[in-house]
Structure formats: C-alpha cells, structure tokens
Structure 1
Amino acid sequence: MKSLVAALMLLLALPALAKPLALDELSVAPLMNGQTIPPALVKTLAGKVVDLNTFLAGKPSVIFFYRGGWCPFCNSQMGQLKAIEPKLIEMGFQLIGISPDSPEKLNASMLSQSLPYTLLSDTELQAMQAFGLGYYSSARITERYMSKMKLDNLLRPTPDGDMRLVLPVPAIYITDASGLIHFQYVNPNYKVRAAPKLILTAASLVPQP
C-alpha cells in the first residue's frame, strides 16, 4: 500500500517538475551544478517503467544523454565511454545512458557495440524535460531525420501546433551518492562531446561517501 501511494505521489509530481521543451537547441535551460537529480520515469531494456532516482540507488553516477543509436557522433561517444567505464567503476561510479530510443533500439545498440553499461529509454521525454535538455528540432531537421534515418520517434506538437521531432541536447552529468550534481557538460553543438579525460578528471573530484 505504501509503495502504491509513493508511486501515485511521484506521478502527480512529475508534470510540475518537468521543464517545457525548448524551441531550439540554443534555448535549453539545463540543470546546473549544485542541483539534485529530479524524479523522472524511464524504461529499462525490458520495457519496465522505473523512476530514475530509484534506479540510481544512491550510487555515484555518470549519466549521459544522447540523441539515439542512429547518430554517428553518439555512437562514437558511447564507444569512448565504454573504454573508460572500467576506470569509472574503479572510482565507484556507475555509467548510465539515456536517449529517446525505444527499449528495442537500445537492445540493438547494446548488441551491436557490445556495451556493458546501462541504457535507459526516454520515449516519453520525462528525463530530458526534467533535466531541461529537450528541444524541438526544426521542420527541416524533422523531415530529414524522419525520412533518412527511418526513426520511429513520436512527433510532438510545438506551441504553434507544428509536429516536430524532439531530441535532447547531448549532455554529461556526474552526481554523488545523494544525487547532487557536481559536474555537467551540455553542448548544443551535437558534434562536440566531452572528452573522456575531462569526464575522468571531473569524476575524480566528486567526494566519495
């Protein structure tokens, strides 16, 4: 009974915590250092709905948002993170990737790249909105990506009623065991990602319990 009440309270709180989708990638308002990870519902590879905070389970974490397994820049970054994951684990961190890809596509990415770390699905955009990273792609980009990349992402209506593809600005967040953000790297230029050395250096400066 208590767990049911807690779940209902979380669902009621989520709309109030979600930030509106930005009109473009330059207008996002991401969470900053010193803030804590908000509640957000995501899906596991098996399609199970979980609260991100519960999934983090009070463990220092490196969380990265990426556009999807169809993005070559994202795939390159995922490979770089795979290379440094053993060092992050040694430092006490878990590595978690979040994208709007469906659980099925996440499974495909895991298999194709032999990824050992956790991927979570944000098809409902709750995580990217809670972090202030979600934005509407332009009409040109929406048409191009949906046709050439064969995406199955659901289009969302803009305030003007246009149906657009919603993506997260790629980002890295490093938190301590309490969910407090100690480092964030958010770059509207999706071609530029945080260097592995920068991530390891920032993680090394996070106080451990």
Structure 2
Amino acid sequence: MPGIKEELSATLAGFQKNAPDFAKLPINAARADVVATFDRSGVIQGGATLPEFELKDATDKLVSANDLLSQGALLITFYRGSWCPFCNIALHHLQARIDDFAAQGVTLVAITPELPDTSLTTTEKLDLKFPVLSDVGNNFARKLGIVWQQPDSLRPVFEKFGHNLPKRNGDDSFEVPVPTTLLVDKTGIVRNVFADPDYTNRLDPEVALGWTKAL
C-alpha cells in the first residue's frame, strides 16, 4: 500500500490536473485563504484537559469521552466528511494500523460533523473497526478551536457534485473541522496535537504511533 503522503500528493495532483475550472478555482482559493487566515493560537494545546463530550456513533448510540477513556488512551481524528477524498485516505491509513495502536493500548476514534446515517455509510464503505462519532453542528470541534467556516463561493461547487452538506450534517452552517488529530492519555490530558488548515496534509500514522510509545 502506498504511504499516506504519496497517496495524498497523488490525489491533489489528480485534482489539479483534471478538475474543471468551475470547481478548481474556488476550491484552490478557499484552501489558500484558510491556510493564510486560520488562527492556530486558538487550537487546543498539549497539556490541556480534553473537554467532555457525548456524541452519537454510527449506530445512533451515545458515546461519551469517559466511556472511551475508561478503555485507555485515545487517538482522536477529526475529518470533514465522506465527500472529502483526503479524509477517506486518512481514515483508511489509520484503519490499516489499528492493530498497532491497540497493541499500545490506544483506541482510535474518528469525529465528523456528518449525521450518524452518513457516518454509518462511511464506516461500512471503508470497513472501519473503530468508533465514528457525529459532532452535529461542530459543537465539540468548536471547543477545540478547529472549526472553519467555508466560504459561500464553494456552495455551487458542492451542489454541482451532489454533496448536500445540509442533509449530510443536519444544518446549513457550511462549517467543517480543520483536520486535527489528538493523542489523549487515559487521564484525559491531551498529549499531542496535529492541526493543519491545509486539508491535503494529514498526520502520518507512523508519527502517531511514535507519540503513543512516549505515553
């Protein structure tokens, strides 16, 4: 299997080469804008206590932070939605290393603004064996300082490609989380943070495994 960086790079190159201008121009402009303007100082930092949450999983069951922490440390990754190819690549690579994380006593958790019906489809499509939780309205992501208000210039692009975010997310805010991964120890303390407003960059699971070995 290609490495995550190679796969992400190939996907971006394919988009730049093949995407029609009506999509490519506003998407590239919005991506450049969020990279330039995202306030990294507002992102949760290592050493902070993870805020409590209670979110529904893909089967509509409520799952709390305490439920998950009772099993040990957590590697939490936020993804924008199943419509995002870069997100799907990141989830696929995490799933491929799930046994390695388990051997370190770490549970993988994915969080998305998409409703449970949509996250269930993602779970089944990617054959994910870890919890996928729905942060409807990005309320939990907002506590971590990782919410991006996408510009309205992207709405026609999403509509053209059939990505109905109001239906998928259950609200019309057009907000998504900045892709972020947190390692949280079993006491609920955030130990490591990766947050990059350039959503074509993702944390390599190998790096995350290195984090876990320092717990």
TM-score range, shorter chain: 0.7 to 0.9
Structure number with the higher helix fraction is: 2
Letter of the structure 1 residue corresponding to residue 201 of structure 2: V
Which string of whole-angstrom CA distances, capped at 9 and with x for unpartnered residues, describes residues 88-119 of structure 1?
00000000000011101111111111111111
When residues 147 and 33 of structure 1 are mapped into structure 2, their CA distance, relative to the original with a 3 A threshold, is same
The answer to which of 95-104 and 36-45 deviates more is 36-45
- For structure 1, the residue ranges without an aligned partner over 5 or more in a row are 1-22, 157-164
1:124, distance to aligned residue in structure 2 (A) = 2.9
Are residues 1:150 and 2:164 paired?
Answer: yes
Are residues 1:44 and 2:72 paired?
Answer: no
Mapped to 1, the partners of 2:53 and 2:159 lie a distance apart of 26
When residues 27 and 143 of structure 1 are mapped into structure 2, their CA distance, relative to the original with a 3 A threshold, is farther
Secondary structure of 1:128's counterpart equals helix
1:187, distance to aligned residue in structure 2 (A) = 0.2
Structural mapping, 1:93-108, within 5 Å: 93-108=106-121
**TM-score of the aligned structures, taking structure 1 as reference length:** 0.78
The residue number in structure 2 matching 1:90 is 103
Structural mapping, 1:106-117, within 5 Å: 106-117=119-130
Mapped to 1, the partners of 2:187 and 2:209 lie a distance apart of 19
- For structure 2, the residue ranges without an aligned partner over 5 or more in a row are 1-32
What fraction of aligned residue pairs are identical, expressed as a percent?
24
1:147, distance to aligned residue in structure 2 (A) = 4.3
Secondary structure of 2:90's counterpart equals helix
**Does the CA contact (< 8 Å) of 1:41 and 1:127 recur in 2?**
no
Are residues 1:180 and 2:192 paired?
Answer: no
The residue number in structure 2 matching 1:19 is none
The residue number in structure 2 matching 1:194 is 203
Secondary structure of 1:117's counterpart equals coil
Please, which of 47, 52, 69 is the counterpart of residue 56 of structure 1? Answer: 69
Which string of whole-angstrom CA distances, capped at 9 and with x for unpartnered residues, describes residues 98-157 of structure 1?
00111011111111111111110111322111211112111112332244223323112x
Letter of the structure 2 residue corresponding to residue 176 of structure 1: D
1:48, distance to aligned residue in structure 2 (A) = 3.1
Letter of the structure 1 residue corresponding to residue 146 of structure 2: L
**Does the CA contact (< 8 Å) of 2:80 and 2:177 recur in 1?**
yes
The answer to which of 36-45 and 90-99 deviates more is 36-45
Q: Over aligned residue pairs, what C-alpha RMSD do you find? A: 1.8
